[in-house]
Amino acid sequence: MRNYRYRGYLIDLDGTLFRGKEVIPEGLQFIEKLEERGLSYLYLTNNSSRRPEQVAEKLRGFGYPAHPEQVVTSSAATARTLVESFGRPPSVYPIGEEGLVCALEGAGCRIVTDRPDAVVVGIDRTFSYDKMKTAVLAIRAGARYFGTNGDLVLPTEEGLLPGSGSLCTAVAVASGVKPTLIGKPEKPIVDMALKRLGLPPEETVIVGDNLATDIQAGVNTGIDTLLVFTGVTTPKEHAGADISATYTLDSLKDWDFI
Ligand SMILES: [Mg+2]
């Protein structure tokens, strides 16, 4: 095999490989070329609502080769971080959807409402005053507070909807405690992906469309980044920002695998 500077790719999903319900064809070619070259890659998503199996299924629906083990979600990284920071699977009160609850249970965490060791907040489309109250009282009684990811809004066809970060903020304001965040641009999700990839950071590149999450994740972890302008960040925004990607491309078809 040729010597490649980057042997591992951590690849964002929405805006990079597809847009909503539409595949980005250059993304398909990109993954095909990674496969041909025998390079390693993982799919890295802040979406905490789905299980890795469901994310892989969605990717396969677009034509991407994807196994659940290739998908790192913010929920999986949160569960791993919890077990590591407590030194055992803690009891948890989660505000979140199936993806979060499954990840926590899969890591051995007990789901409780009374006196949890930790509170975890992720996107929850049935968020309510009662859930917020349970979380806030638990944090005020000493539970440690984690958030799957800090994305304040979610771009959708309807417009920008409240994201995990907005729910985390509500609980933070009412409890007086800021959460430890796990998803991009924070380090824990990247650490988990690197570990699974089995490669050092200098041989890895983060690929994504979002300066504030994907590219900032690279800046925070010392990993090179490839920003593709098929999603949220525009060339103008990148040019005016105080961080910059290692590489920028209009389309992934223009990447020569260095
Ligand atoms: Mg994206």
8-46+184-254: which CATH topology?
Rossmann fold (3.40.50)
Domain residue ranges in the chain: 8-46+184-254, 86-181
Say if residue 238's pLDDT is above 90. yes
How far is ligand 1, taken at its centre, from the CA of residue 200, in Å? 23
pLDDT per position as a tens digit, 17-27? 999 899 999 99
pLDDT at 157: 84
The CA distance from 189 to 75, in Å, is 9
pLDDT per position as a tens digit, 94-146? 999 999 999 999 999 999 999 999 999 999 999 999 999 999 999 999 999 99
Question: Domain 86-181 sits in which CATH superfamily?
Answer: HAD superfamily/HAD-like (3.40.50.1000)
Residue 1's pLDDT band (boundaries 50, 70, 90)? low
How far is ligand 1, taken at its centre, from the CA of residue 228, in Å? 10
How far is ligand 1, taken at its centre, from the CA of residue 156, in Å? 12
pLDDT per position as a tens digit, 77-107? 999 999 999 999 999 999 999 999 999 999 9
How far is ligand 1, taken at its centre, from the CA of residue 18, in Å? 9
How far is ligand 1, taken at its centre, from the CA of residue 127, in Å? 24
Per-residue CA distances from 93 to 51, 134, 175, 220 (Å) = 18, 8, 14, 29
Give the strand pairing for 22-23 and 71-73. unpaired
Question: Are 8-46+184-254 and 86-181 equal in CATH topology?
Answer: yes
- Active site (catalytic) residues: 12, 14
The CA distance from 29 to 168, in Å, is 37
How far is ligand 1, taken at its centre, from the CA of residue 258, in Å? 23
pLDDT at 155: 85
Taking a C-beta distance cutoff of 8 angstroms, is the pair 122, 75 a contact? yes
